[in-house]
Chain A
Amino acid sequence: MAPAIRAHDLTKKFGSFTAVDSISFEIEEGKIIGFIGANGAGKSTTIKMLCGLTKPTSGVMEVAGFDVAKHPEKVRENIGYMSQKFSLYSDLTVKENIEFYGGVYGLSRNELKDRLSWVIEVADLKGRENLLTSDLPLGWRQRLALGCAVLHHPRIVFLDEPTSGVDPVVRDKFWQLIGQLSGEGATIIVTTHHLEEAEFCENILMMHLGRIVVNGSPEGIRKQFSDLPLFEIETAEPLKVFNMVEQESWITDAAIYGNNVHVYAETQGPVEALDEVLKKSGIADFKIVKAAPTLEDIFVKETRPKGRAPNV
């Protein structure tokens, strides 16, 4: 099957600043894809280029089998886009927004009726149809925005940080909705700050400073990075342990999680060295375990400036 999206050597510059730095990737039809990265990583810019909202400085993109530069109108018929900033009409009601977008997408009267009740249902907006969207709580607004973006059953759906700012309950509901859309066969591209959301994605692309630093399925990535020099120290005195290990020059990073201290070393196999350090400082009760890296660990490692200690 042809990929839903193909990007080759995509670059976007704002003046002399490079927001997206010659990235290439392919996205398989029907998958849920997560673009993950910190503020300013270039996620939104990438998505906007794919939707035809901004022109790339260079590079080629194919979305739904169409060249974005040459056939933007074909691309638009096949995509749904939900922008990072709420961009439905806040001075229209829920129903008016849905009707407007339905009309703009060229739905027939019957289709529109169907979709209207579908959106009202999935966005949990029953009884609020005649509320101005500006009066809706954020989580509801976001789901309405998603509903409006997929009224026309697009093959590819772009969601730019749909869950930022909403509470965990609404976030889960949102992901259920994404799962439902995916079940209907849509390819879904989601951007997020939250690494825990990566677990809901079939594939993730970690972005950093305009580049894709890691690309793969969550398990695949974890497997790929399974030999990271990562350790967990179980102890009754986590603060003391933390203070000790942090002073060691070969420890790149350390963090306290409850009774655990996570340690990220520079080299492989320093269990003995760690053991020695802790024993020397008189901490008796501890246990060192080699830890499997989480996506967060991997992300942190991949986005850390090379050759420099963190927390400096």
Chain B
Amino acid sequence: MKRILRVVKKEFLQLRRDKRMFGMLFVAPVLQLILLGYAATVDVKNIPIVICDLDNTKESRELLSHFTSSGYFTTVAYIDDVNQVDYYLKSGKAGMAIIVPVHFGRDLQAGRTPQLAVIADGSDSNTSGIGLSYASTIALNYARNIVVKRAESYNLIKNANDLPQVVAQTRAWYNPDLESVNFMVPAVLVMVLMVITLTITSLAIVKEKENGTIEQIVVTPLHDLEFILGKMIPFILIGMVEVLLVLFVSVYVFHVPLRGNVITLLVLSLLFIMVALGLGLLVSSISKTQQQATMTAQFFVMMPMLILSGFIFPIENMPRLFQYITYLIPVRYFMEIVRGIFLKGDGFADLWPQTLALFAIGVVVLSMSVYTFRRSIR
């Protein structure tokens, strides 16, 4: 135990002198989170829309003002003729058209279900998807009983009474405010945590190999496990500090509501950090140089994990085979955990399958890294 603490102390001493590492540990994650967090919200703000108010009543104007003041849309034109929608969307002048049919206000007053048509330019499915859901939400917030109808293509619309009967679904079930930032920031938190822990641990052992210091260690009575533990403990602590840091930014800068229990989140973050450390040590053990380790960590670990985690592409949209592969990706589970805790207020009771999966992956990865480390130094 005393020997492990010696290694821990040594790691901290070295870290303190490594200015670059220090910046990478405590400045980079916050910057990354802020950049990515804002990027995640910027692209769905200011969608250019064209508005066609065929009703032109108090109700319709009121509803439309909710759209224009929401911050998500910029109105490029008000038109009177439905047929002009075609021109705006096709030319790219607008990404979406909102059409308020005649009798909208009357139906609303009468307690009937008025219809609202939202037509999106299908070429940018991401933006239009988000735009559509924003539109639904805005409409729903205005009056519960408005049915938002969605047209896949403007060609379908011959006149305002002939709107296709598609009810837009609210995409983000667990994020009713539809603040994309709420959905993205927890994910960014996961990514930042993964990138940082993996990057620093992947250098942990290979640096000693490259400098030859490992030789001096190997001839001492220090056990391999003591060495690895001594290396891991500082990174675990740092990882936890990162979590707190990133959590702080998420909650206080982005105002993402944390609905679940902080302790649950921290405990499961600890588990994830262990998995990431295991992966980092594995990379470090199989690499000969620091450069090689960084490359391996980036291209063979982080990139596939990023792509298969559901961060960039929703897992449901992946080909079957890849969907199965995602079950091996620890980030997938942690992403579900973090989003679950943040957005749904999940606790252990809801998250035990993901926890179990993470734990199992962690055990495998850590054993593998200890094994390869032992083989690599003799």
Contact = CB atoms under 8 A, between A and B. Distances in A.
A85 B212 contact: yes
Tell me which of B2, B213, B219 has the highest count of chain A C-beta atoms within 10 A of its own C-beta: B219
A13 interface: no
B3 interface: yes
A121 interface: no
A40 B309 CA distance: 50
A96 interface: yes
Contacts of A80: 219
Nearest to B378: A55
B220 A92 contact: no
A240 B9 CA distance: 67
Interface residues of B, number: 25
Given A89-B10, A103-B6, A104-B7, A53 B217 contact: no
Contacts of B57: none
B211 A87 contact: yes
A101 B221 CA distance: 10
Interface string B135-163: 00000000000000000000000000000
A104 B220 contact: yes
B223 to A, nearest CB: 8
A86 B212 CA distance: 7
Nearest to A72: B378
Residue with the highest number of chain B CB atoms closer than 10 Å, among A86, A104, A132, A149 = A104
A76 B212 contact: no
B17 interface: yes
A51 B216 CA distance: 10
Contacts of A104: 3, 6-7, 217, 220-222
Interface residues of A, number: 31
Given A54-B378, A88-B213, A104-B7, A77 B2 contact: no
A81 interface: yes
Contacts of A199: none
Contacts of A184: none
Contact of B221 (A51, A100, A106): A106
A73 B221 contact: yes
Contacts of B215: 53, 81, 83, 85, 87
A135 interface: no
Contact of B3 (A81, A92, A96, A103): A103
A87 B222 CA distance: 16
A11 to B, nearest CB: 17
A56 to B, nearest CB: 11
Interface in A62-95: 73, 76-77, 79-81, 83, 85-92
Given A53-B218, A104-B217, A89 B14 contact: yes
Contact of A106 (B3, B212, B213, B219): B3
Interface in B1-47: 2-3, 5-7, 9-10, 13-14, 17-18
A52 interface: yes
A99 B13 CA distance: 12
Interface in A106-128: 106
B378 A92 contact: no
Nearest to A149: B216
A242 interface: no
A105 interface: yes
A54 B3 CA distance: 24
Contacts of A79: 219
Interface string B214-244: 1111111111000000000000000000000
Contacts of B219: 51-53, 76, 79-81
Closest 6 CB pairs of A and B: A103-B6, A87-B212, A81-B219, A87-B216, A85-B212, A104-B220
16 contacts: A53-B215, A53-B218, A79-B219, A80-B219, A81-B215, A85-B215, A87-B211, A89-B211, A89-B213, A96-B10, A96-B13, A100-B6, A101-B220, A103-B9, A104-B222, A106-B2
Given A53-B378, A86-B212, A87-B214, 8 more contacts: A51-B219, A53-B215, A73-B221, A80-B219, A83-B216, A85-B215, A89-B10, A148-B216
Interface of B: 2-3, 5-7, 9-10, 13-14, 17-18, 211-223, 378
